[in-house]
Amino acid sequence: MEDTISKHHYKVRSKIGIGGYSSVYLVFSERYQQSFAIKIIPIQQCKTSYDCEIQSLIGLNHPNIIKMYEHFKDDKFLYIVFDYCPNGSLMDEIDMKGKINEPRFLILFREVCTALRHCHSKNIAHHDMKPANVLLDKYGRCVLADFNLSQNGNMSQNFMGSRVFMAPEQVKMEIYDPLIADIWSLGVTLYMMAAGDVPWPLTTLDELDNAIIKGVIPFPPDLRPEIVKLISVMLNIDCSKRPTIDQILTMEVFPPQVPKYGSNRIIRRNEIPECDISGCKSPEIQKRLGMTVLSPIPSRRGIDGRRRRSNTLNVITIPKVTLSSVLTEDK
C-alpha cells in the first residue's frame, strides 16, 4: 500500500478515518508541498459504489463539495486523493458540543444546501447525507463528502445508507426518488445540528423504523417556530410534499447574505457616513488599522475637454492590526 502511494509522490502521515469498507489517511505531497487525504478501498469493493463516487465527483465543481485530485489502483486497492479538511466533521462538532448555536448552524446549513443544490442540478443524489459526511475545511466551511453511494437521480431500489437518516419510503423498501430522499436526510441533519441529537429512538431497529415511518418528531422547546417549520416540511412522510433544495434556500429562516470579506466594489460618495477619524489621518496608519481605504476613481475629461471629478470611490479592505501597536510604532 505505502509503496503505491510513494510511487505517486505522497508520504503517509497517519490514519485519520475508517468506514465500512475504506480507510482514510493523511498524506503529504512532495510534488505540491501540501497535505491531502487519500481514501483507500479494497479492490473487490470498487466494482459498483466507488466507481459511482469517482464519476460523481468528476462532474462536480463547487466550493462546498470535496475536491478530488486524482485516483489510481494497484492489485489490491483503489486510491482516491481528496482535499484534506483538518477540522473534522459536523458529527465531530455535535459529539463534542451538543447542539450548535442558531446563527452558526444556519450558516453551515446554508453551505450544505448550496452544495446539495449543485448536485441536484446535475441530477446527482448524494444518497448518504448525514453530519459525518459534512467535513469542515481549514476555514471552518462545510464541505460535502463521501459520495460513495451517489448515483444518477432516477428512481432507485438502492437501500444502502445510514438507517437513522433513511426516508420512510426507503425504510419500507419502496421504489423512491433519491433526490427527494436526500431532502429527508438533510432534514435529519438539520435537526441534529439544532437539537444535538437524532429525532428517533435508537433502542431497537423496529422502534427506529416505526418512528421514521410515523414521522412523529419531538422538538426541543427552545427552537424557533421557523426552524421547527423548516425541519417539519423536510421530514414530511409524504415525499411529494417535501420541498426541493431550491425551495429550501428561498425560505426566510436564513440570515441575509453579506458581501464576502475583502471583496472590492464601487460605491457612491453619498453612501459613506460621516465619521471622525481625527488622529488617524495618516494614510499609512489607516492602511495598517485595516480601515476601509476610499480611493477616488481617476477623473475623466468631458466632451468639452474639462476634467470632471468622479462621484465614485473604490473600496479596498486592508488586513487588520491592533490600534495600540500602530499608534505606538508611529510615535
Point out the annotated binding site for ATP: 39
Asked if 148 contacts 137 with a C-beta cutoff of 8 angstroms, the reply is no
Measured distance CA(166)–CA(178) in Å, rounded? 10
What distance in Å separates the CA atoms of residue 177 and residue 52, rounded to the nearest whole number?
A: 17
Q: Given the C-alpha cell 421504489, which residue does it identify? A: 175
- Cα 90 from Cα 67, distance rounded (Å): 18
Rounded CA-CA distance 4/73 in Å is 8
Q: Which residues are annotated as a binding site?
A: 39
Contact 124, 153 (CB under 8 A): yes
Could you give the CA distance from residue 117 to residue 60 in angstroms, rounded to a whole number?
A: 11
* Residue found under cell 472590492: 264
Taking the C-alpha atoms of residue 228 and residue 240, their distance in angstroms, rounded to an integer, is 19
Run of H or E including 15: strand 10-18
User: Among candidates 130, 135, 120, which has minimal Cα distance to 56?
Assistant: 120
